[in-house]
Amino acid sequence: MPRRRRFVRPAALLALLGPGLIAANAGNDAGGIVTYASAGSQFQYNTLFICVFVIAALVAVQEMAARLGAYSGEGLMSLVREEFSLRIGAFVVVCLLVANLGLVVSEFAGIGAALEIFGVSKYISVPIAVVVILGIVLFGSYKWAERVFITFSLVFLAYPIAMILADPDWVQVAKGAFVPHIIASRDFLLIAVALVGTTITPYMQLYQAAAVADRGIGPDEYRHERIDAIVGSLFAGFIFLSILIATGAAHFTGHAITSASQAAKALEPVAGASAETLFAVGLLGASMLAAAIVPLSTAYGLAEAVGAERSVSRRFREAPLFLGLFGLQIIIGAAVALIPVNLIDLLVGMQVLNGFITPIILVCLLILTNRPSAVGVAVNGPRFKVFAFICVVLVSVLALAAFIVTIAQGLGF
């Protein structure tokens, strides 16, 4: 008898979605939305070929992180502690702290900017957001928190609608996506690194691996988790392509976007009077999601690094370091976000910083998923190993090039 094809029903697919969808969508945070909008405004569709590569790399990276969590039963930092020297482990922890604390600030700044569009002061909205996020994590289980995080992800559906309404030139979109367009300028290089840095960020890999382990997913369930990781990454990629294409079609000026309100108005030609509302809702949901996931990934990572208890399902007395670190980051990030600062400069700057730090985490992830001592029989296959190596090298080259350009400009060259 011929084998019957196995299809995943939509309802069953939704049941499978969890850490992969949440981790990938958290990358479309406040910084991501503004970076994609700025790329469309400055270069229209010329950066789309970078985005196609980034999506492919994101799928590979998140699949490796999920596989690491499922087959080891541990998070990324636990394995870094076990498989590498103390110096390397300490260096990775410092990089994680630098990258993530700045991102927590930017997420709360995004929450404040989103609600200021509705006339709500950030001095009211940010403290309320702190209470909501702390309540979700400190007083709920992992399963309950996961459902809330997935709900936050639904706001992203507004952007594909905006892309369709923008009526882009699809021939030019295809050309931008599949024909490389290298522009020899500092701005193009920095936006390229920012696109990589905002899409493939360290906290996504840390959260993905740790959440898979926290959820209790093992090798037997990994087939389903692999679907979650891949579908989540593709969905996140589709969303950020939608933002870039919509902005490129409606607001191609050749100049960077310099404020949240300007980013909102960039959608006005396609969304009319509701443009600011559309942008604000998307920015609010994205910032709320990432404001929870970024500090969670840091708390997972640092607790793993010292071998402490870590789980969203634990109470404070059972996991004081894990939950205490989470709460401390939330409070510090929100407090700093209330200081007057240019949101766009902060957000794009943090994405560039992530572009520098991400290669360090990716190298650790690649080495670990090549080691039987970490993932047993689930090591990277020969072809996948080559593809993952290429992704890590290209991301690293982009980061190094941007670093050199930035230093040269600072020295007046």
Q: What letter would DSSP give residue 47?
A: T
Alpha carbons 247 and 271: distance in angstroms, whole number: 11
Count Cβ atoms within 10 A of the Cβ of residue 223 and give its class: 0-12 exposed, 13-18 middle, 19 or more buried.
exposed
Spatial neighbors of 246 by CB under 8 A, at least 6 apart, are 40, 159, 162, 163, 165, 166, 168, 267, 270
Alpha carbons 262 and 33: distance in angstroms, whole number: 13
Reading phi first (left if > 0) and then psi (alpha if -120 to 50, else beta), residue 73 is in left
| Whether 171 contacts 326, CB under 8 Å | no
Name the token pair of 112: 């404040």
Question: Residue 3 domain-assigned?
Answer: no
Does the CA dihedral 202-207-213-217 come out positive or negative?
A: negative
Per-residue pLDDT of the chain (413 residues; tens, 9 = 90+): 444 444 444 444 444 567 778 888 777 777 778 788 889 989 999 999 999 988 998 999 999 999 999 998 888 888 888 888 778 777 877 777 777 877 888 889 888 888 887 889 999 999 999 999 998 888 766 677 777 777 777 777 778 888 888 889 999 999 999 998 888 787 888 888 778 877 888 888 888 888 888 888 888 888 888 888 899 899 989 998 998 998 888 888 888 776 666 666 666 666 566 666 777 777 888 888 888 888 888 888 888 877 787 777 777 888 888 889 899 999 998 998 888 766 556 655 665 666 667 788 888 889 999 999 988 899 998 998 998 888 888 877 877 776 676 666 656 66
Which DSSP helix (H) or strand (E) runs through 342?
Answer: none
Question: Residue 282 domain-assigned?
Answer: yes
Q: Residues of 386-399 as b/e, b for ≥16 C-beta within 10 angstroms?
A: eebeebbebbbebb
| Whether 399 contacts 351, CB under 8 Å | no
DSSP class per residue in 173-235: HHHHHHS-----SHHHHHHHHHHHHHHS-HHHHHHHHHHHHHTT--GGGHHHHHHHHHHHHHH
Alpha carbons 405 and 413: distance in angstroms, whole number: 9
Question: Residue 11 domain-assigned?
Answer: no
> Which amino acid belongs to residue 14?
L
Domain that includes residue 260, residue range: 17-410
Q: Residues of 254-270 as b/e, b for ≥16 C-beta within 10 angstroms?
A: eebbbebbbbbbbbbeb
CATH number at residue 66: 1.20.1740.10
Alpha carbons 280 and 267: distance in angstroms, whole number: 11
Question: Residue 328 domain-assigned?
Answer: yes
Question: Residue 397 domain-assigned?
Answer: yes
| Whether 208 contacts 19, CB under 8 Å | yes
Question: Residue 12 domain-assigned?
Answer: no
Q: State residue 114 phi and psi, 5-degree precision.
A: -65, -45
Q: State residue 3 phi and psi, 5-degree precision.
A: -70, 135
Q: Residues of 17-37 as b/e, b for ≥16 C-beta within 10 angstroms?
A: bbbbbbbbbbbbbbbbbbbbb
Question: Residue 162 domain-assigned?
Answer: yes
Alpha carbons 298 and 413: distance in angstroms, whole number: 37
In the numeric block, the tokens 């700093």 are attached to: 336
pTM, whole model, 2 decimals? 0.81
Q: Which of 203, 188, 211 is nearest to 69 (CA)?
A: 211
* Count of structural domains within the chain: 1
Alpha carbons 224 and 66: distance in angstroms, whole number: 11
Alpha carbons 206 and 223: distance in angstroms, whole number: 20
pLDDT attached to residue 129: 93
Counting every residue written for the chain, the total comes to 413
pLDDT attached to residue 270: 61
Question: Residue 10 domain-assigned?
Answer: no
